[in-house]
Amino acid sequence: MKGCGLPAAWASQPQWCVLETGFGLGLNFLVTWQAWKADPLRPRLLHFVSTEAFPASADDVLRSAATHPELVPFAEQLQRQLWGLLPGFHRLTFEDGRVLLTLCIGDAKAMLREQSFEADSVYLDGFSPQRNPDIWDLHTFKAVARCCRRGTRVATWTVARSVRDALAQCGFVVKKTTGIPPKRDNLQGEYNPAWEPKRRCSRRGAGKPPAAS
Ligand SMILES: C[S@@+](CC[C@H](N)C(=O)[O-])C[C@H]1O[C@@H](n2cnc3c(N)ncnc32)[C@H](O)[C@@H]1O
Protein backbone atom coordinates (compact mmCIF):
# COMPACT_ATOMS: atom_id res chain seq x y z
CA MET A 1 0.00 0.00 0.00
CA LYS A 2 2.76 2.40 0.94
CA GLY A 3 4.39 1.80 -2.44
CA CYS A 4 1.21 3.10 -4.11
CA GLY A 5 0.89 6.10 -1.77
CA LEU A 6 -2.08 4.56 0.04
CA PRO A 7 -4.12 5.38 2.01
CA ALA A 8 -3.36 9.08 1.33
CA ALA A 9 -3.93 8.72 -2.44
CA TRP A 10 -7.54 7.56 -2.04
CA ALA A 11 -8.51 10.20 0.57
CA SER A 12 -11.93 11.68 -0.20
CA GLN A 13 -12.14 10.01 -3.62
CA PRO A 14 -15.57 8.63 -4.52
CA GLN A 15 -14.13 5.23 -5.47
CA TRP A 16 -10.80 3.48 -5.70
CA CYS A 17 -9.78 0.47 -7.72
CA VAL A 18 -6.76 -1.70 -6.88
CA LEU A 19 -5.49 -4.25 -9.38
CA GLU A 20 -3.30 -7.09 -8.11
CA THR A 21 -1.62 -9.76 -10.21
CA GLY A 22 -1.43 -12.65 -7.67
CA PHE A 23 -4.21 -13.10 -5.08
CA GLY A 24 -2.47 -15.98 -3.28
CA LEU A 25 -3.69 -16.14 0.32
CA GLY A 26 -5.46 -12.80 0.02
CA LEU A 27 -3.29 -10.97 2.54
CA ASN A 28 -2.90 -7.85 0.40
CA PHE A 29 -6.65 -7.71 -0.06
CA LEU A 30 -7.29 -8.11 3.66
CA VAL A 31 -4.74 -5.43 4.59
CA THR A 32 -6.21 -3.03 2.02
CA TRP A 33 -9.75 -3.67 3.21
CA GLN A 34 -8.67 -3.20 6.84
CA ALA A 35 -6.95 0.12 6.00
CA TRP A 36 -10.05 1.24 4.08
CA LYS A 37 -12.26 0.48 7.05
CA ALA A 38 -9.99 2.34 9.49
CA ASP A 39 -9.73 5.46 7.33
CA PRO A 40 -12.22 8.27 7.97
CA LEU A 41 -11.36 9.65 4.51
CA ARG A 42 -11.93 6.35 2.74
CA PRO A 43 -13.52 6.30 -0.71
CA ARG A 44 -17.17 5.29 -0.77
CA LEU A 45 -16.36 2.27 -2.90
CA LEU A 46 -13.24 0.10 -2.79
CA HIS A 47 -12.95 -2.28 -5.70
CA PHE A 48 -10.13 -4.83 -5.53
CA VAL A 49 -9.50 -6.84 -8.70
CA SER A 50 -7.06 -9.72 -8.40
CA THR A 51 -5.91 -12.51 -10.70
CA GLU A 52 -5.00 -15.99 -9.51
CA ALA A 53 -4.08 -19.03 -11.56
CA PHE A 54 -4.10 -21.55 -8.69
CA PRO A 55 -6.61 -20.48 -6.01
CA ALA A 56 -5.91 -21.51 -2.41
CA SER A 57 -8.65 -23.08 -0.32
CA ALA A 58 -10.81 -20.92 1.94
CA ASP A 59 -9.41 -22.73 4.97
CA ASP A 60 -5.82 -21.98 3.93
CA VAL A 61 -6.72 -18.31 3.54
CA LEU A 62 -8.14 -18.23 7.06
CA ARG A 63 -5.18 -20.16 8.45
CA SER A 64 -2.66 -17.76 6.95
CA ALA A 65 -4.49 -14.75 8.40
CA ALA A 66 -4.28 -16.29 11.87
CA THR A 67 -0.72 -15.01 12.24
CA HIS A 68 -2.13 -11.46 11.86
CA PRO A 69 -4.92 -11.33 14.50
CA GLU A 70 -6.13 -7.91 13.32
CA LEU A 71 -6.98 -9.44 9.94
CA VAL A 72 -8.93 -12.43 11.26
CA PRO A 73 -12.39 -10.77 11.32
CA PHE A 74 -11.89 -9.80 7.66
CA ALA A 75 -10.51 -13.22 6.73
CA GLU A 76 -13.54 -14.92 8.29
CA GLN A 77 -15.85 -12.94 6.05
CA LEU A 78 -13.68 -13.72 3.04
CA GLN A 79 -13.59 -17.42 3.91
CA ARG A 80 -17.39 -17.62 3.91
CA GLN A 81 -17.51 -16.47 0.29
CA LEU A 82 -14.47 -18.29 -1.10
CA TRP A 83 -15.95 -21.35 -2.75
CA GLY A 84 -16.58 -22.58 -6.26
CA LEU A 85 -13.63 -20.69 -7.72
CA LEU A 86 -13.70 -22.28 -11.15
CA PRO A 87 -11.76 -20.56 -13.96
CA GLY A 88 -13.49 -17.29 -14.83
CA PHE A 89 -14.61 -14.14 -13.04
CA HIS A 90 -16.16 -14.07 -9.58
CA ARG A 91 -17.59 -11.09 -7.70
CA LEU A 92 -17.55 -11.09 -3.89
CA THR A 93 -19.27 -8.31 -1.97
CA PHE A 94 -18.54 -7.01 1.54
CA GLU A 95 -19.49 -4.04 3.71
CA ASP A 96 -22.96 -3.76 2.20
CA GLY A 97 -21.54 -3.49 -1.29
CA ARG A 98 -18.92 -0.85 -0.46
CA VAL A 99 -16.04 -3.31 -0.82
CA LEU A 100 -16.01 -5.42 -3.98
CA LEU A 101 -13.56 -8.18 -4.73
CA THR A 102 -13.38 -9.39 -8.33
CA LEU A 103 -11.37 -12.60 -8.53
CA CYS A 104 -10.14 -13.45 -12.01
CA ILE A 105 -9.29 -17.14 -11.86
CA GLY A 106 -6.85 -18.00 -14.62
CA ASP A 107 -3.59 -16.75 -16.07
CA ALA A 108 -3.17 -13.04 -15.29
CA LYS A 109 -2.54 -11.85 -18.83
CA ALA A 110 -5.39 -13.85 -20.37
CA MET A 111 -7.84 -12.71 -17.70
CA LEU A 112 -6.88 -9.04 -17.84
CA ARG A 113 -7.14 -8.95 -21.62
CA GLU A 114 -10.82 -9.79 -21.23
CA GLN A 115 -11.56 -7.03 -18.75
CA SER A 116 -12.45 -3.40 -19.11
CA PHE A 117 -11.88 -1.23 -16.07
CA GLU A 118 -9.55 1.45 -14.81
CA ALA A 119 -7.17 0.76 -11.92
CA ASP A 120 -5.93 3.52 -9.61
CA SER A 121 -3.26 1.38 -7.91
CA VAL A 122 -1.47 -1.76 -9.01
CA TYR A 123 0.17 -4.36 -6.76
CA LEU A 124 2.43 -6.72 -8.72
CA ASP A 125 2.73 -9.80 -6.54
CA GLY A 126 3.76 -12.98 -8.29
CA PHE A 127 6.40 -15.30 -6.91
CA SER A 128 9.95 -14.58 -8.07
CA PRO A 129 10.42 -13.58 -11.73
CA GLN A 130 12.97 -16.40 -12.11
CA ARG A 131 10.64 -19.17 -10.96
CA ASN A 132 7.33 -17.64 -12.05
CA PRO A 133 8.20 -15.70 -15.24
CA ASP A 134 4.74 -15.60 -16.89
CA ILE A 135 3.21 -13.21 -14.40
CA TRP A 136 6.15 -10.81 -14.78
CA ASP A 137 6.55 -10.80 -18.54
CA LEU A 138 6.04 -8.05 -21.07
CA HIS A 139 2.67 -9.39 -22.21
CA THR A 140 1.27 -9.45 -18.68
CA PHE A 141 2.46 -5.89 -18.10
CA LYS A 142 0.86 -4.82 -21.40
CA ALA A 143 -2.42 -6.27 -20.15
CA VAL A 144 -1.94 -4.44 -16.83
CA ALA A 145 -1.07 -1.16 -18.56
CA ARG A 146 -4.22 -1.30 -20.63
CA CYS A 147 -6.16 -1.15 -17.34
CA CYS A 148 -4.26 1.91 -16.07
CA ARG A 149 -4.86 5.64 -16.37
CA ARG A 150 -2.06 8.15 -16.54
CA GLY A 151 -0.92 8.47 -12.92
CA THR A 152 -1.90 4.97 -11.77
CA ARG A 153 0.74 3.96 -9.25
CA VAL A 154 2.40 0.58 -9.22
CA ALA A 155 4.40 -1.15 -6.50
CA THR A 156 6.20 -4.42 -6.12
CA TRP A 157 8.78 -6.11 -3.97
CA THR A 158 11.10 -7.16 -6.80
CA VAL A 159 13.64 -4.89 -8.46
CA ALA A 160 14.72 -7.48 -11.04
CA ARG A 161 16.18 -5.85 -14.13
CA SER A 162 13.86 -7.78 -16.43
CA VAL A 163 10.82 -6.47 -14.52
CA ARG A 164 12.03 -2.86 -14.57
CA ASP A 165 12.76 -3.05 -18.30
CA ALA A 166 9.42 -4.64 -19.19
CA LEU A 167 7.49 -2.11 -17.08
CA ALA A 168 9.36 0.76 -18.75
CA GLN A 169 8.54 -0.67 -22.16
CA CYS A 170 4.85 -0.61 -21.22
CA GLY A 171 4.88 3.05 -20.14
CA PHE A 172 5.59 2.80 -16.41
CA VAL A 173 8.18 5.14 -14.94
CA VAL A 174 9.73 3.18 -12.08
CA LYS A 175 12.33 3.73 -9.40
CA LYS A 176 13.95 1.66 -6.69
CA THR A 177 13.03 2.67 -3.15
CA THR A 178 14.11 1.51 0.27
CA GLY A 179 12.71 -1.94 0.88
CA ILE A 180 10.85 -3.45 3.79
CA PRO A 181 13.35 -5.74 5.63
CA PRO A 182 14.65 -8.27 4.73
CA LYS A 183 14.41 -6.68 1.23
CA ARG A 184 16.97 -3.95 0.63
CA ASP A 185 14.96 -2.39 -2.24
CA ASN A 186 11.40 -2.24 -3.48
CA LEU A 187 10.07 -0.89 -6.75
CA GLN A 188 7.55 1.93 -7.14
CA GLY A 189 6.33 3.69 -10.20
CA GLU A 190 3.61 5.38 -12.12
CA TYR A 191 1.92 4.82 -15.46
CA ASN A 192 3.03 7.79 -17.51
CA PRO A 193 3.81 6.70 -21.07
CA ALA A 194 5.61 9.00 -23.47
CA TRP A 195 2.85 8.22 -25.97
CA GLU A 196 -0.93 8.67 -25.91
CA PRO A 197 -2.24 5.23 -24.96
CA LYS A 198 -4.96 3.59 -27.05
CA ARG A 199 -7.98 3.28 -24.79
CA ARG A 200 -9.68 -0.05 -24.56
CA CYS A 201 -10.74 0.16 -20.92
CA SER A 202 -13.71 2.22 -19.77
CA ARG A 203 -12.81 5.51 -18.12
CA ARG A 204 -13.72 6.41 -14.58
CA GLY A 205 -17.26 7.67 -14.55
CA ALA A 206 -18.16 5.58 -17.59
CA GLY A 207 -17.38 3.38 -14.69
CA LYS A 208 -18.88 -0.05 -14.24
CA PRO A 209 -16.62 -2.42 -12.31
CA PRO A 210 -15.44 -5.35 -14.42
CA ALA A 211 -17.93 -8.05 -15.16
CA ALA A 212 -17.97 -11.11 -12.94
CA SER A 213 -19.99 -14.28 -12.67
C1 LIG B 1 3.39 -14.24 -3.78
S2 LIG B 1 1.88 -15.05 -4.11
C3 LIG B 1 0.68 -13.77 -3.86
C4 LIG B 1 0.50 -13.34 -2.43
C5 LIG B 1 -0.76 -12.53 -2.23
N6 LIG B 1 -0.74 -11.29 -2.98
C7 LIG B 1 -1.15 -12.30 -0.80
O8 LIG B 1 -1.26 -11.12 -0.40
O9 LIG B 1 -1.38 -13.27 -0.09
C10 LIG B 1 1.88 -15.17 -5.88
C11 LIG B 1 0.61 -15.76 -6.46
O12 LIG B 1 0.64 -15.61 -7.88
C13 LIG B 1 -0.03 -16.72 -8.45
N14 LIG B 1 0.36 -16.83 -9.87
C15 LIG B 1 1.52 -17.30 -10.38
N16 LIG B 1 1.53 -17.23 -11.72
C17 LIG B 1 0.36 -16.69 -12.09
C18 LIG B 1 -0.22 -16.33 -13.34
N19 LIG B 1 0.46 -16.53 -14.49
N20 LIG B 1 -1.44 -15.78 -13.35
C21 LIG B 1 -2.12 -15.57 -12.18
N22 LIG B 1 -1.62 -15.89 -10.95
C23 LIG B 1 -0.40 -16.44 -10.91
C24 LIG B 1 0.45 -17.88 -7.59
O25 LIG B 1 -0.45 -18.98 -7.70
C26 LIG B 1 0.47 -17.26 -6.20
O27 LIG B 1 -0.72 -17.51 -5.50
Quick: pLDDT tens for 108-151: 999 999 988 999 999 999 999 999 999 999 999 999 999 999 99
Q: Report yes or no on 177 lying in a domain.
A: yes
End of a domain among 73, 106, 139?
A: 106
| Count of domains observed in the chain | 2
**pLDDT surpasses 80 at 153:** yes
Q: Report yes or no on 55 lying in a domain.
A: yes
CA distance 56 to 60: 6
- The model's pLDDT over 156-180, given as tens digits with 9 standing for 90+, comes to 999 999 999 999 999 999 999 998 8
Same domain, 182 and 137: yes
Is the CB of 195 within 6 Å of ligand 1?
A: no
Write down the pLDDT at residue 47.
98
How close is the Cα of 12 to the center of ligand 1, in Å? Answer: 30
Write down the pLDDT at residue 205.
36
Top pLDDT among 59 and 209 is at: 59
Q: What percent of the chain has pLDDT over 90?
A: 87
How close is the Cα of 108 to the center of ligand 1, in Å? Answer: 9
Q: Output the CA angle 205-141-117, nearest 5 degrees.
A: 15
Residue to mutate (ligand 1; options 18, 19, 20, 23; most atoms within 8 A of CB): 23
How close is the Cα of 120 to the center of ligand 1, in Å? Answer: 20
AA letter at 18: V
Is the CB of 169 within 6 Å of ligand 1?
A: no
In Å, the largest CA–CA distance within the chain is 46
Write down the pLDDT at residue 105.
98
Three-class SS state of 66: coil
Top pLDDT among 179 and 60 is at: 60
Confidence band (pLDDT; 50, 70, 90) for 27? Answer: very high
Integer Rg of the chain from CA = 16
Average pLDDT taken over every residue of the chain? 93
Top pLDDT among 208 and 162 is at: 162
- Evaluate whether 42 touches 7 at the Cβ level (below 8 Å): yes
**pLDDT surpasses 80 at 155:** yes
**pLDDT surpasses 90 at 36:** yes
Between 72-81 and 58-65, two packed helices, what is the crossing angle to 10 degrees?
180
Same domain, 147 and 181: yes
Confidence band (pLDDT; 50, 70, 90) for 210? Answer: low
Q: Report yes or no on 138 lying in a domain.
A: yes
Q: Which of 157, 121, 119 is nearest to 136 (CA)?
A: 157
Q: Which of 92, 121, 95, 86 is nearest to 26 (CA)?
A: 92
Same domain, 143 and 194: yes
**Can you give the residue range of the structural domain that contains 78?**
45-106
Is the CB of 52 within 6 Å of ligand 1?
A: yes
Is the CB of 28 within 6 Å of ligand 1?
A: yes
pTM above 0.85, yes or no: yes
Same domain, 138 and 101: no
How close is the Cα of 24 to the center of ligand 1, in Å? Answer: 5
Q: Report yes or no on 97 lying in a domain.
A: yes
How close is the Cα of 109 to the center of ligand 1, in Å? Answer: 12
Q: Report yes or no on 11 lying in a domain.
A: no
Write down the pLDDT at residue 207.
38
Query: Could you check whether the bond before residue 55 is cis, i.e. omega within 30 degrees of 0?
Result: no
Q: Report yes or no on 19 lying in a domain.
A: no
For ligand 1, atom 27, which residue shows the shortest CA distance?
Answer: 24
Q: Report yes or no on 182 lying in a domain.
A: yes
- The model's pLDDT over 65-91, given as tens digits with 9 standing for 90+, comes to 999 999 999 999 999 999 989 999 999
